[in-house]
Chain A
């Protein structure tokens, strides 16, 4: 929560949301479905980090009876909702969870950021034609920071778990961000990103597996052409 109170919540899905949206225009850099899948991966990752669930052999398992009580910052109402969903189900394939959560993840995370006072919805001038509005940050500098932070930490070899997950989600969803061009080769080259993400395997193998499944679901969406 290092950046909480400075225009960021420090939550993974929130930072990924900010990375995906152009801070000036609010235009998303990913298609709706791919963005949703990435956010779904981020939400599940938040639960993994809270040690509420793990991902083993493609299946999401509940490993805690409740979310940690003291950490209300991390355990937002949205995460509590997702955890309740996990509790209500038997062990389900992680790819089912990614597809399920992706259906509403962008709205849910946007509302969470809105509740924190970090973004606002600018209505579309073509609302009558069914065009959705755009989410814009109140503070441009803070909104642009997650991507810059990823670049700096990856580039300088000082990446923490949060940064590695954002980097991994950018890789899994094929996110192109102008701030990431200096680490573009690491996003493209399998050997380089594998090496970059290796520390995750030591601390949280579930996170690495979650990233891999996110990439599989994105791949399936692109090859089948169902990306809207």
Chain B
């Protein structure tokens, strides 16, 4: 006799209405990834600096690597509090000192990614305003204008709702798809070649660089576990949103990069390196489509700058609350915004724009691309350390997890990501497009070594002067539970136990 499932409870029904499904979490992920910003800004630069036509393959390779990474990542995310912050994984897997080292690496990396956007938004807005409204102002004015807008909107919490982000993300994806179809259907002499989609098209010399750039394009996908407690089905929503997002982003990126290859043919590298490099995507479609695309790109950049600003602020807030950063960073304003963290992030943005103006840095080539790729490289280091942390965490507490999730996948991703990171360091000159051995090739990756070392030393100092703060590093808000003697029960487990 068939059994009827019990009617959903009043509480469950009320909560379900307010909680996030797979699609909503995906929209938050896509807002952080900012696909249009990545394709318009990152892909042409990847062609330009690496001189390789295998950019589409790089996106597919990295998508596969990140999928393997995500297997262990989401498995561990369901067991630990404060998931979504890499340092929490690292602290619980590799120890608190390494975790604090990772925390500072993350702060540097995410801030670089955020301030880098001003290097792109300034010149683009300058050229957009000149073409459409005959307003002629230097890029620094637009960069500071955007910075002011982001600072104010960030502080008064005009953060974008899930629905608005969803609409923007879908429109962005449609524009990219439309431009890609236009490019693929109007190939240069020689037609469309799909050999650039094959991993065999990747060459060792530029491999690290092009893969690091591809990682940069995916940065933001790791945010999904932040929504664990907000998800409708804590056990399935976050993993599904993570994998589907990775798939969608990979296909869209590879298609767009392939379309550029097809449309520009053997001139793809030369075009990317030329004056019109940053306009490659929109130049594939003349007329209305390009015009709409350019306008949407402005909103995409603004949304990306604000999304990154808020994400960095919240990251620093979490660290402030744990006293890894000064405790003032862990305070929120009356509107719930991490005010001090948000203000510090804004100050860093202003400093970056001022430095670029003072030293006449090329906003696109240096502030955006150097800042962005170095930030992306920092994320690559965090991904590597997090994979290793997942392996070690499950060695200590296997807890019935499948071998593939707890050991094989994270071990494979740790090794592969470490190799990519190693290649990156070795070929950092190729990544930046500067002579081998020049100062940026040492200083920029070296920043992370310094951040990690400072973090480790700070953790050891904290252990001595504030032992209570030290014991709760990586536990996030659940640190309080540890103090009460109660175990933290993640949403997945709590839901299962509650329904049992």
Which A residues are closer than 8 A to B by beta carbons?
A: 27-31, 33-34, 57-59, 85, 88-93, 95-97, 99-100, 103, 172, 174, 176, 188-191, 194, 201, 205, 208-209, 211-213, 215-228
Contact = CB atoms under 8 A, between A and B. Distances in A.
Interface in B405-435: none
Interface SS majority for chain A: helix
Contact of B486 (A31, A57, A88): A57
B317 interface: yes
Nearest to A205: B484
A215 B336 contact: no
B308 to A, nearest CB: 12
B198 interface: no
B279 interface: no
B494 A93 contact: yes
A85 B478 CA distance: 26
Given A88-B10, A209-B484, 20 more contacts: A29-B334, A58-B494, A85-B11, A96-B11, A96-B495, A97-B11, A100-B11, A176-B334, A188-B327, A190-B468, A190-B483, A205-B484, A208-B484, A212-B480, A215-B477, A218-B477, A222-B317, A222-B336, A224-B229, A227-B336
Nearest to B482: A212
B481 A222 contact: no
B360 to A, nearest CB: 36
B10 A85 contact: yes
Interface in B357-376: none
B491 interface: yes
Contact of B484 (A201, A217, A221, A223): A201
Contacts of B323: 190
Give the interface size bracket for B toward A: 35 or more
A224 B468 CA distance: 26
Contacts of A194: 468, 483
Residue among B10, B81, B321, B330 with max Cβ neighbours from chain A (10 Å):
B321
Contact of B334 (A28, A212, A217): A28
B477 to A, nearest CB: 3
B11 A95 contact: no
B190 interface: no
Contacts of B227: 224
Given A194-B483, A223-B314, A223-B318, A34 B9 contact: no
A228 B230 CA distance: 13
B13 to A, nearest CB: 10
Interface string B46-85: 0000000000000000000000000000000000011011
A220 B486 contact: no
A103 B15 CA distance: 9
B489 A212 contact: no
Contacts of B466: 191
Given A58-B494, A222-B317, A213 B310 contact: no
Contacts of B182: none
A31 B336 contact: yes
B14 interface: yes
A221 B318 CA distance: 12
A85 B317 CA distance: 35
Given A58-B489, A225-B314, A174 B331 contact: yes
Given A57-B486, A58-B489, A223-B226, A190 B469 contact: yes
B453 to A, nearest CB: 26
B157 interface: yes
A92 B484 contact: no
Nearest to A93: B494
Interface in B328-367: 330-332, 334-338
20 contacts: A30-B334, A31-B335, A57-B489, A89-B10, A90-B498, A93-B495, A96-B11, A96-B12, A96-B15, A100-B11, A190-B323, A194-B468, A209-B486, A212-B478, A212-B481, A216-B81, A220-B228, A220-B229, A222-B314, A223-B476
B226 A224 contact: yes
Nearest to A194: B483
A224 B230 contact: yes
Given A95-B491, A188-B327, A222 B332 contact: yes
Nearest to A226: B230
B336 A95 contact: no
Given A220-B229, A222-B314, A224-B226, A93 B480 contact: no
A66 to B, nearest CB: 20
A18 to B, nearest CB: 16
B498 A93 contact: yes
B273 interface: no
A100 B480 contact: no
B494 A211 contact: no
Nearest to A174: B332
B486 A58 contact: yes
A20 to B, nearest CB: 9
Contacts of B335: 31, 227
Nearest to B17: A103
A212 B14 contact: no
7 pairs of A and B residues whose beta carbons are closest in the complex: A219-B477, A31-B336, A227-B336, A93-B494, A220-B229, A212-B480, A58-B489
A190 B81 CA distance: 18
Contacts of B11: 85, 89, 92, 96-97, 100
Nearest to A86: B11
A93 B327 CA distance: 30
Interface in B432-486: 466, 468-469, 472, 476-481, 483-486
Contact of A176 (B321, B331, B481): B331
Contacts of B330: 188
A30 to B, nearest CB: 6
A211 B478 CA distance: 11
B490 to A, nearest CB: 10
B18 interface: yes
Given A99-B15, A208-B484, A225-B159, A33 B336 contact: yes
B399 interface: no
A217 B18 contact: no
